[in-house]
Chains A and B, each alone.
Chain A
Amino acid sequence: MESSDTYLIRPHHQHKFKPAIVKECIREIVREQLSGVQYDPEEVPQLSRTLADSVKEKVKNAGFERYKLVVQVVIGEQRGQGVKMSSRCLWDADTDNYAEDVYMNDSLFCLVAVFGSYYY
């Protein structure tokens, strides 16, 4: 009678969330879309949204199976102010991971963080 469900609680190695690859993805996209962009408070919300989407799409295609992705994009104006950002996660450190990259030019800074959470 008793049948126990089988769970895949660890991703295959090739499917594991690899921060280096993700970081490269982020960097590529951010470089592409933000180089030479001046900070404009009107456009930045839309920009950050599209950026997050494109990053998500790109990371999705990177082949991290069974991973739920959370992409956080923060774009702020660069006026010499101090900025401090940190994150805290309740997760399974064996499977879950994150990658972040910061892009800065004269007028803005952009932080993209991708959190990958494994879906068992």
Chain B
Amino acid sequence: MHSDKKLTKEDTWRPEDLRRYVREGGQGDDRARRRDGSERKHRGGESTERRHRDPEKESRQERDKHRERESTRERRDEDRKDRYVEQRKEGSRDRRGDKERDRRDERDKEKEKRKERDGLVDGKRYSDDYGGNKDRKRDREDRHDRKRDEERHRDKEKDRVRDRERRNREDGDKGREERDKERRKEERDRVHRTERERRRHEDSGDAGRDRIEMYDREQRERHRERERLKDNREDKRTDKERRERHEDRKHSEQKEERGKEYREEHRRHKEERERRHKEGGCDDQKPKHDSDSRVHRDVKRSGEEEKHRLGNRERGDKDKQRERRHREDEDPERKPRDRQHREEEEDPERNHRDKKSVSDQSNKPETTTVKSEVVDEEVVDQEYEDDFEDYEEDFEEMDPSENEGEDEKESEEFPQEGGEREEVTTQKKKEIEAIQRAMNEENERVGTDQSIQSTRREEEDEPKLSRGHEKNHSRASQRGKFIDFVAAKQREFSKKVATKQKKRSTELLRLIDLDFSMTVSLLDLPPVNEYDMYIRTFGTANTKQAYVQCNEDNADRDIQTEEIEVCEKWTQHPPEHSGACGDSNLSQEAQGRNMNETNFDSQRLAAFLHSASQVLVVLLEEDQAERKSLSKLRTQKDTLSFSDGSLQLNTKLPFLYDRPISLVYFSQVQRHTMMSVHAPTTKPSAVRLDSCTIICIWNIWEPSRPQKILVYESEVQCCCFSPGKAILVFAGTSAGSVVLWDLREETSNHYRLNIGEEEWTFRQPTFSTNAVMAASGHFSSVSSVEVVPSTAAGGLRPEVPLLASEEESSGLSFQLASLDESGVLNFWVVVELPKANEAGSPTDLGLRPGGKVKLLHSSSLLTAERVSQRDAVKTGPLQTLHLKFLPSDSNHFFIGTNMGLVNHGTSHSLKATPKFYRFQEAGVRPVDVNSIHFSPFRQNMFLVGCGDGSIRLHTVSQEQPVAEWRDSTAGEPVVSLQWAHTRPTVFCVLDAASNLHVWDLLKKDTEPVVTERISADRVTAMAVFGDSGKQNTYSGIALVHESGKIEMQYFTRDFTVTIPAEEEKLETMMTEAF
């Protein structure tokens, strides 16, 4: 057995060889190695077969054991010898490393030789075999085996090639023929080796190409074949494979021996068969074939074609052999026998040749090579494995050298076939067909078992491709172990299943895509934080979740408050009327409300209308009166020289009818207010107020009717207004009482009387001292009542009207003085009660129910007695007739008496100088002082009018008069005397003869400037009016006629317009007089 492993070689080689190898190694190394591969390929066939057979040989193991070893050794030796022979032969060759090829060549030659020798040897060999020449026999066997192995292997290839060729014959025929020729030539040249070498080099390219082609086809074929087999008998095969493998491993050590054994037996069978064959003759085909082969042999070609065919058959044989092995050789079948017979034909050759080679080589010492059995065996084993590997490598490696090696084989094959085809194409076809038929028949007959067995070999190939190494190890390790069949079976079964599944998976995986892309999150439970944990464990212990939702259907939190109301308002500044603000909607309402308010304020309206009506009435009456007076003045112009016009008050009232007017009095402050005192009449009238005195309060601008009407039962002697505003009226009566009227009292509280068509209100006095204050009252008729001027006003000009407010506040706290005829002077304090008592006061009996003003007696003073004590003897009792207070000092009062003197006194018993004012001539005479009047401009000067008609002008400081006019009235008593309010030097005097004298001291200080005699209707009283502060034209004089008519005469301009020198005139008069 040739091995490419250097070590092995070196181990087994003899020193000479080694030396030579070393020398030549450089050249032939590569090639050698490659060729080794190719050789191994051939070997592979052998070993596989052998191994397949191994299991079946077990039975014979025992028997052949000891022989086996020897035979193995010997076979090996022989092999080596062969090799050595070859090598020696090749020694002369150029390419010595090319051992393998050379050896093959040699073998070819040997075959040839064998053929030649066949005839001679046969007989000898038989005898040898049977004669027990073991050595020779062994040799022969060995040779035969090896050859057969090679053949078998080659056959396998060729089988495939043939199949393919059959298909592609048309295409490749010509080329092949050419090639065949070449090859034939080549082979011929092989005898002359040097030549051939050269040629091979030339052909290598060509052949290489062919070889590649062939190789490809082979590959394909083989693959197909394998596939088919696999598919068909997959299951069986796997089974057997495993079993085989198992067995292989177990018996790997004995393979060699078994192989030998088998071969031996085989040989025996063959020989037998040969004999039989010879005896019984051959089939039709066989002789033909033989002849063919012989023809080939004649062309010096080794029986490659034949071998090929044989190989083909051999495969079948092997199957059958396996079968046969069970049946033992006693029951051989016909066909195998035939074939074997055919083989036998060769065998003698081989044997012969073997013998020859053996004889050649046997001369040389062998012992050295056989160093140890074990080593050899191991080597063999390894070689087996290597063979299998290399077998595959053969087809994979496409080296030129290899190709060369193959080339040779091909060249061996094709020439035979080509030649055949050329000569006997039809014949060959028939032959092939026959062979095929036979094969099919065999296959059918053999059935599954055979087919399984046949496939086994191929199966063996496959697994070994992948498991070569593995097996190698396992086989080596398992050597000598105990064989456990049960475990093996189990293992085999499980392996079967596994392979089945594996196959399934491989097939399915082609169809299915597995993916690994998706990662699925199955559970993601986040950790609970501490607070939640706490709440979960403890939070629900004592808590309860509650909530309140107002406006439940409206859960949105943003709009839980009510809508803000918006409206428009307007306002105005300053707010002039009630509608100072409002809006568009409510303006109507507001207006309506305002209307209602105005409607409701009827009282205010009434008040307004009342005052307004008064004003209107005054205005209307003024206007009317003016027109009347003017017309009258025109008519009366000639009568009154000083008069600028006149106005008549309407005194033609029913209750004033036939009443003489005793007094006319103007208010000091309200210059237009005048009162007239109508004395009771003696004549009966319709009105039952006959015995009563009626006082009428007039507004001179409203002459049509009196403002107020006051009544009192007794005769009023004197009267006066309150200071300031004319709201109170005081009067002194002849019965000695002092009465008071409050003009502010309501008209409803007084007695109203319808006279004619008009209703008149007659006011009773608010307060009366009559019989109430008997002790402190007057016991005689009151001659004069006079308001004591206030001290505050004392320093001021008396003409200046006090302010209304002052009057209101202070006006009701003033003193009143009343003087009766007996000279008793009483002072009274006027008190206004804060609240009126409608039921009447229990203490103040003089007070009228509902009245608010009363008089308190302050002090009493007797003025007349002193005077009377002095003068009582001469003149009788003194009568005090008239009372006046000094306007500048209220403590000084002046009393006119009936003795023609004016007494001067003070209220606080102070000494008053002079004590009295007298006439210019000394002495007292019984003359009444009728009138005293202080000048409004010079308050220390006053005029005194006496009953004898004399007029005196006094100053306060002098007892004697400044001037005295005795006969200005022609002896008539002076009734009234008054200063004019607008001119300081003008005064009017009325005497009892109804003559009115107007004096103007500036013009004429001796006699009056104007003297008017009113004779038709006598003037009984007169009063001067006018405002000294205002220089208006309305100053005049009121004249009361006897008929009861009141006539207002306006002064002409001469008597109203102030002349600057007037006061100086008075001054000079005073200084001239003293």
Residue numbers of A with Cβ under 8 A of B are: 1-3, 5, 7, 9, 74, 80-93, 98, 100, 102, 109, 111, 113, 120
Q: How far is it, in angstroms, between the C-alpha of A83 and the C-alpha of B532 when the chains are bound?
A: 17
Indicate if the CB atoms of B521 and A85 lie closer than 8 Å. yes
> B1074: CB under 8 A from chain A?
no
Indicate if the CB atoms of B231 and A1 lie closer than 8 Å. yes
Instruction: State how many angstroms separate the Cβ of B1035 from the closest Cβ of chain A.
Output: 121
Interface hit among B522-530, B588-596, B732-740, B988-996: B522-530
Q: Which chain A residue has the least Cβ–Cβ distance from B522?
A: A85
> B511: CB under 8 A from chain A?
yes
Q: Which chain A residue has the least Cβ–Cβ distance from B511?
A: A9
The contact string, 1 if C-beta is below 8 Å from chain A, for chain B 934-953, is: 00000000000000000000
Of B518, B519, B525, B532, the contact of A109 (CB 8 Å cutoff): B525
Residues of B contacting A5 with CB < 8 Å? Answer: 504, 507
> B533: CB under 8 A from chain A?
yes
Instruction: State how many angstroms separate the Cβ of B515 from the closest Cβ of chain A.
Output: 5
Residues of B contacting A91 with CB < 8 Å? Answer: 514-515
Q: Which chain A residue has the least Cβ–Cβ distance from B530?
A: A80
Indicate if the CB atoms of A85 and B508 lie closer than 8 Å. no
Q: How far is it, in angstroms, between the C-alpha of A92 and the C-alpha of B516 when the chains are bound?
A: 9
Residues of A contacting B228 with CB < 8 Å? Answer: 1-2
Residues of A contacting B533 with CB < 8 Å? Answer: 80
Sample 16 A-B pairs with CB under 8 A, ordered by A number.
A1-B232, A3-B231, A7-B508, A7-B511, A83-B525, A84-B524, A84-B525, A86-B519, A86-B520, A88-B519, A89-B518, A90-B514, A91-B515, A100-B523, A111-B523, A120-B512
The contact string, 1 if C-beta is below 8 Å from chain A, for chain B 744-774, is: 0000000000000000000000000000000
Residues of A contacting B231 with CB < 8 Å? Answer: 1-3
Of B227, B514, B522, B525, the contact of A92 (CB 8 Å cutoff): B514
Indicate if the CB atoms of A83 and B515 lie closer than 8 Å. no
Of B504, B511, B522, B528, the contact of A87 (CB 8 Å cutoff): B522
Of B507, B515, B522, B532, the contact of A100 (CB 8 Å cutoff): B522
Residues of B contacting A83 with CB < 8 Å? Answer: 523-525
B residues 193-247 with Cβ under 8 Å of A? 227-228, 231-232
With A82-B526, A87-B522, A120-B508 given, can you name 6 additional A-B contacts, CB distance below 8 Å?
A: A84-B524, A84-B525, A85-B521, A86-B519, A91-B514, A92-B515
Instruction: State how many angstroms separate the Cβ of B922 from the closest Cβ of chain A.
Output: 145
Of A74, A80, A113, A120, the contact of B532 (CB 8 Å cutoff): A80
Q: How far is it, in angstroms, between the C-alpha of A74 and the C-alpha of B507 when the chains are bound?
A: 36
A-B contacts counted at CB < 8 A amount to 76
Q: How far is it, in angstroms, between the C-alpha of A98 and the C-alpha of B504 when the chains are bound?
A: 24
Q: How far is it, in angstroms, between the C-alpha of A12 and the C-alpha of B536 when the chains are bound?
A: 49
Indicate if the CB atoms of A87 and B520 lie closer than 8 Å. yes
Instruction: State how many angstroms separate the Cβ of A35 from the closest Cβ of chain B.
Output: 19
Of A3, A87, A120, the contact of B519 (CB 8 Å cutoff): A87
Of A81, A93, A111, A120, the contact of B522 (CB 8 Å cutoff): A111
Residues of B contacting A120 with CB < 8 Å? Answer: 508, 512
Instruction: State how many angstroms separate the Cβ of A100 from the closest Cβ of chain B.
Output: 5
Instruction: State how many angstroms separate the Cβ of A88 from the closest Cβ of chain B.
Output: 5
Of A92, A93, A102, the contact of B523 (CB 8 Å cutoff): A102
> B513: CB under 8 A from chain A?
yes
Indicate if the CB atoms of A88 and B513 lie closer than 8 Å. no
Indicate if the CB atoms of A90 and B508 lie closer than 8 Å. no
Residues of A contacting B532 with CB < 8 Å? Answer: 80
Of B504, B508, B521, B527, the contact of A80 (CB 8 Å cutoff): B527
Instruction: State how many angstroms separate the Cβ of B64 from the closest Cβ of chain A.
Output: 39
Q: Identify the 9 closest CB pairs spanning chains A and B, nearest first.
A: A82-B527, A80-B528, A83-B525, A85-B523, A85-B522, A1-B228, A86-B521, A90-B516, A80-B533
Q: How far is it, in angstroms, between the C-alpha of A52 and the C-alpha of B511 when the chains are bound?
A: 33
Q: A89-B516, A90-B515 are in contact. Are A2 and B227 (CB under 8 A)?
A: yes
Q: Which chain B residue has the least Cβ–Cβ distance from A78?
A: B525
Q: Which chain B residue has the least Cβ–Cβ distance from A113?
A: B522
Instruction: State how many angstroms separate the Cβ of A5 from the closest Cβ of chain B.
Output: 7
Q: How far is it, in angstroms, between the C-alpha of A81 and the C-alpha of B504 when the chains are bound?
A: 46
Residues of A contacting B504 with CB < 8 Å? Answer: 5
B residues 488-519 with Cβ under 8 Å of A? 504, 507-508, 511-516, 518-519
B residues 525-561 with Cβ under 8 Å of A? 525-528, 532-533, 536
Indicate if the CB atoms of B527 and A81 lie closer than 8 Å. yes
Residues of A contacting B526 with CB < 8 Å? Answer: 82
Instruction: State how many angstroms separate the Cβ of B392 from the closest Cβ of chain A.
Output: 23
